[in-house]
Amino acid sequence: MQRFLLRRLITTLVTLLAVSLIVFAMARVSGDPRDLLIDDTQVGDVELFEALGRELGLDKPYYQQYGIFLKDLLQGDLGQSVKEQRPVLDAIKERIGNTLALGLAAFAFSVLAGVPLGILSSVKRGSFLDQFSKVVALIGQSAPPFWLGIMFIFFFAVRLGWTPPSGHQEWNSIILPAVTLGWFFVAANLRLVRSAMLDVLDSEYIKLARAKGVTRNSIIWKHALKNALIPPLTFAGVSLGNLVTGSLVTETVFAWPGLGQAAIQSVWSNDYPMLQGVVIIFTLMYVGAALLVDVLYAYLDPRIRYA
């Protein structure tokens, strides 16, 4: 067990190191933040341009900049935001709660909607409900999140006025972005549960239970569902990390004040430190969730520990 956890921990650290290098390189491809900091009246001022470079550490070779970045990162220092002129960690702390709330709300929606629909779709195979569930899954897995978000804003916020169109003003502001973000995972849960339930319902021990006169509800909820939930539970561990870290488009469409929106804004403003900090935090969340799932697998199934 200890060797398994050690291997997973080493893999996690290597992943974080690789991500930090990629983020560092890609952030500098997007442009020079000094071009945005210098006013139009000061364009061409070489001394000011070089002074800003020294202040931001851009006058050093890239390998030295990366070394400084890693050193500060290990000390918990994510740098100073170029745009907001304050520590990146403070800006992240201010927004991370909104991102976590949105991700957890989308996760709850994906489970509460996807699992029951998958069960009913398998039990009512070929019925109108089954066809409706297939349409829900098709839309969830094919429609782009930005398009879904815009349609939701148009119908439910603009036409019907049920929720605010954007921002984080009232308690129901989270409904539309959570549904937009979670719909893909509703479709995935629905298809996984339906497929697993159909396999279990066609198995020999279910046929034996029916032959013995076990009630239909008992077969579905006590015997079939218990074994059919293994694939969805496996997917849930991965989807939770995806929902928390995959909110860039949704937060931008709904002007949700989270880390996804901060990442997009930092790209437009060439804010290297903010972009690097947000991506590192996202990576920590995702890799942490994946590591937790691996640990749970190893605990529940001893065969995995020695694989």
pLDDT digits (tens, 9 = 90+) for 56-101: 777 788 888 888 888 888 888 887 887 788 888 888 988 888 988 9
Residue 30 has a CB neighbour count (10 Å cut-off) of 15
Q: Domain tally for the chain?
A: 1
Residue 31 in any domain: the answer is no
Tokens linked to 247: 């909110």
Residue 80's DSSP bridge partners are: 87
CA-to-CA dists, residue 45 to 39, 187, 213, 254, angstroms: 10, 55, 88, 39
- Type of residue found at 203: S
Residue 11 in any domain: the answer is no
**CA–CA separation, 67 vs 87, rounded Å?**
19
Angle in degrees, CA 76, 80, 85, rounded to 5: 145
Could you give the 3-state DSSP secondary structure of residue 129? helix
The model's pTM is 0.75
CATH of the domain at 256: 1.10.3720.10
Find the range with the poorest average confidence among 87-96, 119-128, 160-169, 227-236: 227-236
Residue 292 in any domain: the answer is no
**CA–CA separation, 115 vs 182, rounded Å?**
13
Secondary structure letter of residue 61 according to DSSP: -
pLDDT in tens, 12-29: 888 888 888 887 887 677
Residue 9 in any domain: the answer is no
